[in-house]
A and B are shown apart, each in its own frame.
Chain A
Amino acid sequence: MSKIGITALVPPELIFACDCSPLDVNNFIPESRKYPRNKLCAWTAIWKEMLIQKEIRIESLIVVAGGDCHNALVDGQKVAMSGTRTHFFFYPFDGDAEYLESQLWRLSDFLGDIKNPDKFKEITNLKKLGQDMDKKRYNGKINPGEAFRILISSSDLQSDPDKFRKAISSIRENNIELNSRVALIGVPPIYHDFHDVAQSLDLAIVFDELPYEFIRHGGNNIREIARDYCNYTFARPLEFRINFLQKELEKRNIDGVIHYTQFACHHMLEDEVIRKELDYPVLTIQGDLPGKTPEQIKLRLEAFREALLRS
Chain B
Amino acid sequence: MIGLDVGSTSAKRVTIEKGELKYNITSSQNWRDLVDGIDCDEIISTGYFRNSVPHRASVTEITAAIHGVRHYFPDIDVIVDIGGQDTKVIDIRKNNFMINDKCSAGTGAFLEFVANYFRLELVELGRLHMNAKRIPDINNTCGVFAISEMISQLVAGYSKEEVIAGMHHAFARRISFMIPDAEKIALIGGTVKNEGMVMALKDLLRKEIFIPPEPQIINALGALKYYS
Contact = CB atoms under 8 A, between A and B. Distances in A.
A303 B63 contact: yes
Contacts of B95: 281, 307, 310-311
A237 B98 CA distance: 26
A299 B99 contact: yes
Contacts of B96: 275, 281-282, 307
B52 to A, nearest CB: 11
A296 B62 CA distance: 13
B101 A303 contact: no
Interface bin, chain A:
10 to 19
Interface in A261-311: 275, 281-282, 284, 286, 295-296, 299-300, 302-303, 306-307, 310-311
Contacts of A310: 63, 95
B97 A296 contact: no
Contacts of A303: 60-63, 97
Q: DSSP majority for the A interface? A: helix
Contacts of A284: 98
A306 B99 CA distance: 15
Interface in B76-106: 94-99, 101-102
Contacts of A311: 95
B62 A307 contact: yes
B101 A307 contact: no
B125 interface: no
Contacts of A302: 60
A306 B101 contact: no
B201 interface: no
Interface string B95-121: 111110110000000000000000000
Interface in B52-77: 59-63
Contacts of B99: 296, 299-300
A302 B45 CA distance: 14
Contacts of B62: 303, 306-307
Interface string A158-177: 00000000000000000000
Interface string A122-166: 000000000000000000000000000000000000000000000
A307 B91 CA distance: 11
B178 to A, nearest CB: 12
B88 to A, nearest CB: 9
A310 B67 CA distance: 12
Interface in B3-55: 48
A299 B63 CA distance: 11
A306 B226 CA distance: 11
Nearest to A308: B95
B124 to A, nearest CB: 31
A296 B63 contact: no
Contacts of B60: 299, 302-303, 306
A-B pairs, 6 with minimum CB distance: A303-B62, A303-B60, A306-B63, A307-B95, A311-B95, A302-B60
5 contacts: A284-B98, A286-B102, A303-B61, A310-B63, A310-B95
Interface of A: 275, 281-282, 284, 286, 295-296, 299-300, 302-303, 306-307, 310-311
Given A281-B96, A310-B63, A311-B95, 15 more contacts: A275-B96, A281-B95, A284-B98, A295-B48, A296-B101, A299-B48, A299-B61, A299-B99, A303-B97, A306-B59, A306-B60, A306-B63, A307-B63, A307-B95, A307-B96
Interface of B: 48, 59-63, 94-99, 101-102
